[in-house]
Amino acid sequence: MQKVYTAKEAAEVLKIHYNSVYQLVQEGRIKCVKVGRKILIPERCLNDFIEKSIS
């Protein structure tokens, strides 16, 4: 089973404020899964974002 992060957990990994994570999701730069109103970010999507940000 693949690990998923909440916006707050993703913010901790990226060392940014969780509001910035919501902004990145809205811009489509981080892909997520919505369960009701909750945003869940699969680990591979977070890794993809990091890879794109580095290059």
Q: How far apart are CA 34 and CA 55, in angstroms?
A: 28
| pLDDT band per the 50, 70, 90 thresholds, residue 2 | confident
pLDDT at 32: 97
| pLDDT band per the 50, 70, 90 thresholds, residue 55 | confident
pLDDT digits (tens, 9 = 90+) for 19-41: 999 999 999 999 999 999 999 99
User: In terms of DSSP H, where are the helices of the chain?
Assistant: 7-14, 18-26, 43-54
Q: How far apart are CA 19 and CA 54, in angstroms?
A: 21
pLDDT at 34: 94
Q: What is the mean pLDDT of the chain?
A: 96
Q: How far apart are CA 29 and CA 31, in angstroms?
A: 6
